[in-house]
Amino acid sequence: MLEDLFKIVKTRAGDDNKSDKKAKFTIPDDLLFKCPRCNSVAFMDDFIGKSKVCAECSYHARLTAVERLNITIDKGSFQEFDATMTSKNPIEFEGYPEKILSMQNSTGLKDAVVTGECTIRNKHCVIAVMDSNFMMASMGSVVGEKIARAFERATEKKLPVVIFCASGGARMQEGIVSLMQMAKTSAAVARHSDNGLLYITVLTDPTTGGVTASFASLGDIIIAEPKVLIGFAGRRVIEGTIKQRLPDDFQSAEFLLEHGFVDMIVDRKDMRRTLSRLIRLHTKEGAR
């Protein structure tokens, strides 16, 4: 409806300026949001005000790391870890340093994950947020190192860990070095768990590849946002391997919940409250 309205306004504005061929009426690109799932249209300000969730179909759009932190943690509580850590070029992949620099300039991030210590409704924890705007949050040496260090600090301080996962998988530009991060992060998770500490993963859209096959699937409690894509390999690879047709929704959060791979699906508006409640129930700090 809003699209039709603006088409009429635009047409009328054009009629008023027939005598001036240079006069143009343009609609800003960021004025409206069109949902890719239900095609409903809303003002961008309203959409952002609802934490980028479609009011009609509850489509959860992707958030930047900064946006995620702003709606999750207590204001002023975040103390970032390893803020200046940047990637080298371990296998001398052509054009990789330039790609990293371009991503840093466009996103304002040093790499695809932000880690730090914070409180969520006054519950202390270590948090990590992956940002799909940075090379699809692929896991390279920096992502793996920052995740591992976050767990090490949490283990030392006896704090729970919350990770918002989003990734396209391992970072091909770092070759075998990127694959080694799966073992390193998993070992850090194991040490944290051996100390009896809580680890919560929140799977967002998309969570795939080596991240799914390592720390994203090792949480004591695994949460997913509604209808997000979660998987390891792509459909064609899996079907070609097992020689079977897979269900259309086999990599959706709802399918994984039904089959026991996810513990709960939580709407974005309820995520902050849910995380604080889980931390309170499962930690000594919360028991006091």
Tokens of 215: 């720390």
3-class DSSP assignment, residue 199: strand
User: What is the number of other CB atoms lying within 10 angstroms of the CB of residue 227?
Assistant: 16
Q: In the prediction, which pLDDT does 25 show?
A: 56
Give the single-character DSSP code of 105: H
User: Closest Cα to residue 213, out of 181, 238, 246, 260?
Assistant: 181
Q: How confident is the model at residue 30 (pLDDT cuts 50, 70, 90)?
A: confident
User: Closest Cα to residue 262, out of 270, 253, 271?
Assistant: 253
CATH number for the segment(s) 62-287: 3.90.226.10
Judged by average pLDDT, the poorest of 26-30, 59-63, 111-115, 279-283 is 26-30
CA geometry: angle at 210 spanning 215 and 261, to 5°? 60
How far apart are the C-alpha atoms of 285 and 59, rounded to whole Å?
Answer: 35
What are 232-262's pLDDT values in tens digits? 998 999 999 999 999 989 999 999 999 999 9
Chain centre to alpha carbon of residue 121: 21
pLDDT(72) > 80: yes
Q: In the prediction, which pLDDT does 8 show?
A: 47
What are 165-195's pLDDT values in tens digits? 999 999 999 999 999 999 999 999 999 999 9
Give the single-character DSSP code of 108: S
* pTM reported for the whole predicted model: 0.88
What are 85-143's pLDDT values in tens digits? 999 999 999 999 999 999 999 999 999 999 999 999 999 999 999 999 999 999 999 99
Give the single-character DSSP code of 216: G
Tokens of 14: 């054009």
CA geometry: angle at 189 spanning 264 and 265, to 5°? 10
Residue listed under structure tokens 């792509």:
234
Mean pLDDT, rounded, of the chain:
91
Q: In the prediction, which pLDDT does 27 show?
A: 66
Q: How many CA atoms are closer than 13 Å to the CA of 90, on its beta-carbon side?
A: 15
Q: How confident is the model at residue 28 (pLDDT cuts 50, 70, 90)?
A: confident
What are the residue ranges spanned by the domains of the chain? 1-61, 62-287
Single-letter residue type at 262: V
Which residue did the predictor score with more confidence, 44 or 19?
Answer: 44
Longest dimension (CA), the chain: 77
Cβ–Cβ < 8 Å for 272, 225: no
When pLDDT is averaged across residues 41-52 and rounded to a whole number, the result is 93
